[in-house]
Structure 1
Amino acid sequence: MKRVRGFSDVLLASLIALVACALVWFVCFVVWGAVSTLPRTDLLLLLTISGVVVFYGLIVALPVLIIFAAPAYALLLRAGRASYATATIIGVIPGVVLLCINARSGVAAMVTGVVVSVATHKSCGGDPGESSKPDSLRGRT
Structure 2
Amino acid sequence: MSWYRERLLDPALITAGVVVVVKGVGYPTVPVGGLRRGGYVNVADDVTTRCLHEALTGRDGFPRVRVRWSLCPSVCHTVIWGDEPPRDDEDDVAQGRFYGYSEEAINRFVEELAHSTRPRESQETGSSACSSTSRTNSKRL
TM-score w.r.t. length of structure 2: 0.25
The structure that is helix-richer by fraction is: 1
The structure that is strand-richer by fraction is: 2
